[in-house]
Structure formats: structure tokens, C-alpha cells
Amino acid sequence: MGITLAELAALVDGEVRGDTALPITGGASLESAKPGDLSFVQDSRQLIRLKDCRAAALLTTSELAQDPRLAPFVRVIVRDPAAAFSIILQRLQPARSRPARGIAPTACISSSATIGANCYVGPGAVIGDNVVIGSGCDVHPGVVIGPGCRLGNDVVLHPNVVLYADVSVDDRTIIHAGAIIGADGFGYRFADGRFEKIPQLGTVHIQDDVEIGACTTIDRGAIGATIIGAGTKIDNQVMVAHNCEIGRHNVFAAQVGLAGSCTTGDYVRLGGQVGIKDHIRLNTGSSVGAKGGVHKDVPAGETWIGYPATPEAEQKKLVFAVHRLPQLRDQVKQLSAELAALRDEVARLREPNSHAA
């Protein structure tokens, strides 16, 4: 039967304009919503998408609610529709509960490991010597935790995560399936016609409230630690090389790659497939757009795009110039033809008999 719109509105301090008893059975985007679904309109750019929308009700702001395109819908007025939708969606579609607490019989755990209270260790997990795991942690099936690792409280390691030896993971960190933390950095020196491995003797320290995406790799430091700062969120298939030091509350989209010894300030944002040269500094509040290639330090607060990446305003000028190239080519052809005609005319006028003619 669903949940009444009034009940859902109460979760987000919303004001219902329309049928408060309307039953809501799910949440969806404007395009995919069905009768009974709740959706949201965050800004005026979305209004054009309402033409074929079949949602039963919409979350929106008081300003947008005045638009006549919203008139056919029951509306719930909130300050931030996207945030309210996220809260309501958790009520409509609750996440699956955490696994039951306890240790699976098939987990392989060293006798010297210490596991805190209220933890879950799944089938096939391997926990090495002298590992310390805090309370309330979830270690899913197939996870490997190498010797000497330290986990804080409420850490979640999804299936097949691998922590190499001596990695530290602080409180409330989430690491998704297949991520590998603490593999050797890509360090070699060329001598006598061959590459010789440089020992990677450091570690990785992941601070509080970090989330790391599936199949991401974070290499250990050659000396000292690779550091991921508190609150940082890293997407799937990201590569963080040895001895990088990432600041607090950074956000990296999928397939970002940072070469060795890069550092970032706080609140740095990197779009998908950004590549960062080794020993580069991205200062606090800076951003790099998708597929940007960064070869020099980015100042605080600036947004860079392109390859090689430069400030956004500079790149836009280059893009506009490139788009004008066909027009400029035609103009050059026309000017060349006119110049050739002028040269012919000048040559004719210089001929001895030209005046007599």
C-alpha cells in the first residue's frame, strides 16, 4: 500500500501541497518514475523533463513550485529537494542489514590476531599475524588482511579486499570489493642495462571516514607512508602511487591516476580519468576537470582543464580558437586569392606598355 506522502514529508520537514494521504510506493528519476513514485526537481533546468513524467508527487522548492509546469503534480516543498529525496529514499528502500555478528568457521585467523567486539568475519577471510581489528568491523568473504595491519572501529572491508602488511585503516572507513591497499610502489632504477627494484619499505595510512571504490589501488610508500586524509572519497579504479599524501575531504572520480609523491590540500576535486605527474602539488580547494593532464602545481581554489591542464579560462579560449579554425582557413584562402589577384594587377601595371593600353 505504500507510505503516505504526509509521513514522508514529515521526515524532511516538508509542506505538502495536494493530497497528503497519497500513497507512495517508491522513488525514481523524473524520466523513469511510475504512478506511485516520488521524484524531485532541484533546479529550473529540470523543468523541461516534466513533459512525460508520471510521478505521483515531486519534491521541489517554494520558488520552483510556482512554475505552471509543476501545477499538475502534488508537490512537497522543501529547502533542498535532492537532499530530502536521499533521506526519503532510505525510508522507501531500506538498505540491507549488516551481516550477523560472528566469525565464520572457514575464516583463517592467526592466533596472534586481536579482533574487537561485535565484529563480522566472513567465510574464507584471512587475517594475518599480529593484526589488530577494532570493534564493530565487517570483514567480508575473501578479504585478506596482512601481518601487522591495524583497523579502527566500524571499518567495512567488502569481498576480496586485500590489505598488504602493516597497513593502517582508521575508524568508519569503507573499502569496496577488490581494492588493493599497500602493494609495492612502482619504483625501479636502471643500472647495467636492466631495471633493479627499489625496496618499498613504507606503508599506507588511511584516516577516518574515508571511502575507497572497487578495484582501486593504493601503493605503499617507498619510505614512510602513503596517506589518505580524513573524509576523502575515492571512486572505482583509481590509482594512488607510492608516497602520495592526500588531504582531507578530497573527491576523486573513476580512473584518476596520481604518480608517486603527489600531494593535495583539503577539498581537492579530480574528475574522471585525470592524470597527475609525479611530485605535483594540488593546493586546497583546487579542481581538475575530466581527462585533465596535470604537469605543474595547481594553485589553491583554481579549476584547471585540458591536456596539458591549464586554468579553465585559458582552455576555453583555446577551445573557441580551435572551433574557429575552419572559418579562419576559409578566410585565409579568400585572402590568398585576393592577394594573388592584386599581385597580378600590380605586375600588369608595371609593364612598359600598360599606360599606352
Q: Which residues are catalytic?
A: 242
CA-based nearest residue to 78, from 26, 20, 17 = 17
Give CA 135 to chain center in angstroms. Answer: 29
Rounded CA-CA distance 310/268 in Å is 16
How far apart CA 58 and CA 18 sit, in angstroms, is: 11
Question: What is the separation of C-alpha 243 from the centre of its chain, rounded to a whole number of angstroms?
Answer: 21
DSSP letter at 178? T
Question: What would the grid cell of residue 349 be?
Answer: 601595371
Closest CA to 156 of 124, 122, 123: 122
Phi, psi of 226 (to 5 degrees): -80, 130
Q: What residues contact residue 331 under an 8 Å CB cut-off, 6+ apart?
A: none
Here the cell at position 281 is 602539488
In sequence order, the β-bridge partners of residue 311 are 304
